Structure 1
């Protein structure tokens, strides 16, 4: 059975352009593969654990080879569940707005939680870092108020795209496509959304086939 994890990073619900475009893409995927199962992770509704205290101690215990003690084990189990949720999906879809040149803090929080030694990456002093998550098709729908199609938007850089490529590639999700949607405000907004939707409909069949 074909499976997709959709990570939704906008808090705006039905008013969100990124969520709207993502739903259209999922509909296109289901048109080709009706049996597609979607695991929907709304980062603003999910109870993401804090990455401090016991969780941080658990990470450093893992890095040093020390067994987890007390609350560390429970904190690490929560993180393992998040990583497993990513790893069991055959395809990854992430829909997010651009905030202040980069990504919403809840998305950064989630990425920090799933980027863990022994779970999603490994380190060897002789060879450096290597990802542990298996490669699979991943796609980011990135909406922005500006138009970054030809570079900076009115002097504002896009820091989200390079960050997402580096951060997701670090754990193994290097087969990544990023579809920009912008501008999402002003007279050109509807046309920008439709252009992105058209591109995504064209990408849908190949996106699912890529994992087979």
Structure 2
């Protein structure tokens, strides 16, 4: 049994290029064996705010202080989200690029679960990711084509893939595969070609193990 946490970061539903490619990857996984999918749509998941009681709970925990009842309630919601990451064998993220980064709801999810003893540890030896041994697949859709060595390149303007890869490494995941779906704003022909290439790459990646 392969347990997949499927994070959808686009609000575009069936029009989302990143989601369509990620779904092709998951469908290919299902064709190989038993797969369960825990879908987390960041736009419909009613993510809790990270302020007030949640923020105070974080600092109380870091200081080793007991949590109030309200703080415990807020922290349990964060731990429940974190458990979905801990319980997954693979984390599949389908995200568009917004202003060279990720949508704010995706960033909000990351801010919620990136907590001590939820997805990482911290002691006198430094940080330690808690999600070692898992695979992550990032489907990164972007309207432009990011060509190495040009002003419009990943090294100059891509804070989407770079941010996600840094975060996934921080929480302990080293097996990270990335599928780029580019030129989605270049008209229907370019979009169709990019989707086809992305879907083929997704299927090949799933079938390769």
Give TM class, smaller chain: over 0.9
Residue by residue over 1:38-95, the C-alpha shift from the partner in whole angstroms, topping out at 9 and shown as x without a partner, is: 1111110001000000000111111111121120000000000000011101111010
1:24-43 pair list within 5 angstroms: 24-33=24-33, 35-43=34-42
Residue number in structure 1 paired with 2:130: 132
Residue number in structure 2 paired with 1:92: 91
Distance 2:149 2:126 in 1: 33
Residue number in structure 1 paired with 2:19: 19
Structure 1, unmatched stretches of 5+, are 208-212
Residue by residue over 1:5-43, the C-alpha shift from the partner in whole angstroms, topping out at 9 and shown as x without a partner, is: 10000000011111111121111111112x211111111
1:99-178 pair list within 5 angstroms: 99-125=98-124, 127-150=125-148, 154=152, 157-178=157-178
1:179 maps onto 2:204 in alignment:
no
Distance 1:181 1:131 in 2: 28
Q: How much has 1:185 moved relative to structure 2?
A: 2.1
Distance 2:71 2:149 in 1: 45
Secondary structure at the aligned position of 2:208 is classed as helix
Residue by residue over 1:103-127, the C-alpha shift from the partner in whole angstroms, topping out at 9 and shown as x without a partner, is: 00000000111100122112223x2
TM-score, normalised by the number of residues in structure 1: 0.91
**Inter-CA distance 101–53: structure 2 relative to 1 (3 Å threshold):** same
- How many residues are aligned here? 205
Residue by residue over 1:146-198, the C-alpha shift from the partner in whole angstroms, topping out at 9 and shown as x without a partner, is: 11243556476111111111112111123211111101122422111211111
The answer to whether the Cα contact below 8 Å between 1:152 and 1:158 also exists between their aligned partners in 2 is no
Structure 2, unmatched stretches of 5+, are none
TM-score, normalised by the number of residues in structure 2: 0.92
Secondary structure at the aligned position of 1:10 is classed as coil
What RMSD over aligned residues (CA atoms) do the two structures have, in Å?
Answer: 1.5
The answer to whether the Cα contact below 8 Å between 2:4 and 2:91 also exists between their aligned partners in 1 is yes
The answer to whether the Cα contact below 8 Å between 1:62 and 1:118 also exists between their aligned partners in 2 is no
Distance 1:30 1:105 in 2: 30
Distance 1:56 1:108 in 2: 16
The more displaced of 148-157 and 197-206 is 148-157
